């Protein structure tokens, strides 16, 4: 009888231990806009998920939902992670125009031409000015993409006058404002909508960095590409955030929190920016191999564009001032950080 009791107790203890171990295993729902073959899926998301699994002895795992496969729209990703519908997302705050105004400083034109530098600067700026824009959300990383260029179906953009009458897509409010100042008719839309819009002729072209084009085969839908003289900062950039539901993070035991923390922050942001920078060549090659036409807008012409876009900086600072924020200081801090981290 005593042996059977001991056996039963041992079995119960083993079951409890097994249940405790199982309780430590956490699967994080990771929702994003890209298809599984996109550069970000292959070079950022998959390696991060593999790394946290390895460093947690497989207690932390990702269940990845690409191409908005959990439902909703790209604009809703910021709320999906805030509300806990998804545990992790990567998205562009600029998809929800005006909701994250402090971060728009890095989406102003002609700020930087390095995603790596932009990422490091954006992380520091985020800590000072923009964390409060993300209640219920833990920001794991922030960065900007590599240089954004102009891609058109039927007309090469060479001068400011060439924009007149063209319907052009841009990802964010500031980039839409830029297109308007340059003379185009801006059409705001998230990335997944671009394919349908350009194929139907709803838009005449779009602003995009090279990295994302091959995964959507956009180089097959346009003929002309206008790049900017590398001696000038990029025409535009857009801000990305890698975000986690704060309550989900808070629920983790200390050892798993440490794994997340070890794979987040300034250095991690900078490494993602470096990945974006290194992706340019492959994206450009796809368009070159197809025989598309390239043109580099010279610095002398870009100076006209910079002059046309000048009011956007005043608009940004005035908008921040209206919100009780130090607009001029925010813009200056962003510029100083970009200089600080420039190689």
- What percent of the chain clears pLDDT 90, i.e. is strictly above it? 90
On the CB side of 41, CA atoms within 13 Å amount to 16
pLDDT, mean over the chain: 93
Domain ranges in the chain with CATH number 3.40.190.170 = 26-100+109-145+238-278, 148-236+285-341
12-43 tens-digit pLDDT: 444 443 434 445 799 999 999 999 999 999 99
- CATH topology (fold) of 26-100+109-145+238-278: D-Maltodextrin-Binding Protein; domain 2 (3.40.190)
As its CATH architecture, domain 148-236+285-341 has 3-Layer(aba) Sandwich (3.40)
- Name the strands in the sheet holding 239-245, side by side, starting at the edge strand that comes first in the sequence: 60-65, 26-31, 88-91, 239-245, 137-144
pLDDT digits (tens, 9 = 90+) for 126-163: 999 999 999 999 999 999 999 999 999 999 999 999 99
> Are 210 and 146 spatial neighbours (Cβ–Cβ below 8 Å)?
yes
CA distance 338 to 118: 6
Does 9 have pLDDT greater than 90?
no
Q: Cβ atoms within 10 A of the Cβ of 308, count?
A: 16
Number of Cβ within 10 Å of residue 162's Cβ equals 18
- pLDDT, residue 140, reads 98
Q: What is the mean pLDDT of residues 187-216?
A: 92
Cα–Cα distance list, 3 to 6, 8, 9, 12, 18 (Å):
5, 9, 10, 14, 22
Per-residue pLDDT of 65-90, as tens digits, reads 999 999 999 999 999 999 999 999 99
């Amino acid at each position: 009888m005593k042996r059977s009791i001991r056996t039963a107790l041992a079995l119960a203890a083993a079951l409890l231990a097994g249940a405790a171990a199982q309780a430590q295993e956490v699967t994080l729902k990771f929702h994003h806009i890209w298809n599984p073959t996109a550069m970000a899926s292959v070079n950022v998301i998959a390696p991060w998920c593999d790394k946290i699994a390895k460093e947690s002895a497989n207690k932390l795992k990702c269940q990845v939902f690409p191409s908005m496969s959990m439902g909703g729209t790209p604009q809703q990703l910021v709320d999906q992670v805030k509300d806990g519908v998804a545990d992790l997302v990567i998205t562009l705050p600029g998809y929800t125009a005006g909701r994250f105004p402090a971060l728009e400083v890095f989406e102003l034109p002609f700020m930087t031409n390095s995603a790596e530098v932009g990422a490091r600067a954006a992380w520091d700026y985020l800590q000072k000015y923009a964390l409060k824009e993300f209640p219920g959300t833990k920001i794991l990383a922030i960065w900007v993409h590599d240089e954004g260029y102009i891609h058109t179906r039927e007309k090469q953009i060479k001068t400011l006058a060439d924009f007149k009458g063209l319907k052009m897509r841009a990802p964010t409010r500031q980039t839409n404002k830029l297109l308007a100042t340059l003379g185009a008719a801006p059409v705001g839309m998230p990335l997944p909508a671009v394919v349908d819009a350009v194929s139907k002729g709803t838009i005449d072209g779009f602003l995009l960095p090279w990295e994302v084009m091959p995964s959507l085969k956009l180089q097959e839908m346009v003929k002309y590409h206008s790049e900017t003289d590398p001696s000038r900062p990029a025409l535009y950039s857009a801000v990305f955030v890698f975000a986690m539901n704060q309550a989900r993070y808070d629920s983790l035991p200390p050892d798993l929190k440490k794994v997340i923390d070890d794979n987040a922050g300034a250095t991690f942001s900078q490494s993602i920016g470096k990945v974006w920078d290194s992706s340019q060549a492959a994206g450009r090659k796809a368009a070159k191999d197809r025989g598309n036409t390239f043109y580099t807008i010279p610095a002398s012409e870009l100076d006209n564009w910079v002059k046309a876009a000048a009011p956007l900086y005043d608009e940004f600072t005035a908008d921040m001032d209206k919100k009780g924020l130090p607009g001029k200081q925010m813009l200056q801090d962003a510029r100083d950080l970009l200089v600080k981290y420039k190689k």
